[in-house]
Amino acid sequence: MLGMLRGHVYIRAFVFILAGVTFQVSRDQAGLTWENYQQGIELWRRCKRIRSPYLGQDLELYPKKKFIGYAGMDQATVDLLTKGKSRIDMKESARWGYAMYITDNPAMAKFFSEWIKADAFGANAKTYVCALWARDGDLFNSIGKIWVPELGDLQTDNKHWDKAKTAWSQEDRDRRVAHWGVKTPYILFSRHHWMEDMPIPKNTRWNEMVVYPQIQDAMFLTYPMTHHQNEEKIKKAYVPFDQQIKTWNITVPDETWQDFKKHGEHFIKL
Ligand SMILES: *[C@@H]1O[C@H](CO)[C@@H](O)[C@H](O)[C@H]1NC(C)=O
């Protein structure tokens, strides 16, 4: 959102991602400077570098495809994503910002395919468990990844905040993540606390993976599953994201290791 104000170019500190376009936010009101212009161009280049073209839904068309995980989704999102398009749902709870929320556990994705009805879409909505793939596994591996501690001050409350505050908190998160050495665009991982009726033992946590719209649009494939397909996956073992820390090059800061330890989660530090 570039505009002119009394002869100076300024950038509005508002919605930073729309329709796959990334906007720089100028928080200090310094306007468009050579420095933030350069940062904007750099970010645009990093976004461009991770693009793998959408060739349709036939998995055979993607020789370097890689299976990633599962997500619960509503019909409107499924309709767009299965056409190679992008969608940001602003009604759903989004504690790490507007994004596609993926889990490794197909039973947890089933839980969320129901939970999002009460959260956003209504009891009669049609929802799905979807399987998510990366079009190009090498590109997926090369993207910056961060595992953040499950701390409230890092999170967004989009259900109670206006859009400007929500966008601002994404900026804050990006800065914290940059401080930990991972630049935007990145994929974010976190443990998630237990809630009533979740298919895991009480008071244990599980893994979530947060894929922001630029990355979803640049390299993801979405396949809605039937109830039967979902049940078959639930019967089988899956590889949890915490066992991918090395292969996927996930940056895990000390604060996160402390957060794991505090919850009695003894993941192996590689
Ligand atoms: C791993 O991630 C870090 C942080 O994003 C990055 O600096 C580094 O280049 C990555 N390594 C590989 C092999 O991709």
Burial class (CB in 10 A: 0-12, 13-18, 19+), 65: middle
The number of distinct structural domains making up the chain is 1
Ligand 1 pocket member 39 (CB < 6 A): no
Query: Are 38 and 232 within 8 A, CB to CB?
Result: no
Answer yes or no: is 222 within a domain. Answer: yes
Number of the ligand 1 atom closest to the C-alpha atom of 144: 5
Answer yes or no: is 69 within a domain. Answer: yes
Answer yes or no: is 15 within a domain. Answer: no
Ligand 1 pocket member 144 (CB < 6 A): yes
| pLDDT score recorded for residue 205 | 96
Answer yes or no: is 18 within a domain. Answer: no
Distance 184 CA to ligand 1 centre (A): 12
Cα–Cα distances (Å) from 58 to 65, 101, 128, 137, 251, in that order, read 11, 23, 19, 16, 32
The crossing angle, in degrees rounded to 10, of helices 106-116 and 227-235 is 140
| pLDDT score recorded for residue 4 | 34
Ligand 1 pocket member 56 (CB < 6 A): no
Ligand 1 pocket member 247 (CB < 6 A): no
Ligand 1, from 249, 250, 251: best to mutate by most atoms within 8 Å of Cβ? Answer: 249
Cα angle value 156/14/159 (rounded, 5°) = 30
Answer yes or no: is 83 within a domain. Answer: yes
CA distance 81 to 222: 6
Of the given ranges (22-26, 145-149, 241-245), which has the lowest mean pLDDT?
Answer: 22-26
| pLDDT score recorded for residue 29 | 59
Distance 144 CA to ligand 1 centre (A): 6
Backbone dihedral region of 216: left (phi > 0), alpha (psi from -120 to 50 degrees) or beta? alpha
Question: Given a cut of 90, is residue 39 above it in pLDDT?
Answer: no
Distance 101 CA to ligand 1 centre (A): 22
Question: What is residue 87's DSSP assignment?
Answer: -
Task: Quote the domain boundaries for residue 114.
Answer: 34-263
Q: What is the pLDDT of residues 136-193, one digit of tens each?
A: 999 999 999 999 999 989 998 888 888 888 888 888 999 999 999 999 999 999 999 9
Atom 3 (ligand 1) nearest CA: 144
Answer yes or no: is 3 within a domain. Answer: no
Cα–Cα distances (Å) from 259 to 72, 84, 147, in that order, read 27, 37, 11
Ligand 1 pocket member 249 (CB < 6 A): yes
Answer yes or no: is 19 within a domain. Answer: no
Q: What is the pLDDT of residues 48-81, one digit of tens each?
A: 899 999 999 999 999 999 999 999 999 999 999 9
Atom 11 (ligand 1) nearest CA: 249
Q: Indicate the pTM of the whole model.
A: 0.87
Number of the ligand 1 atom closest to the C-alpha atom of 183: 5
Answer yes or no: is 27 within a domain. Answer: no
Number of the ligand 1 atom closest to the C-alpha atom of 181: 4
Could you tell me which residue, 65 or 13, shows the higher pLDDT? 65
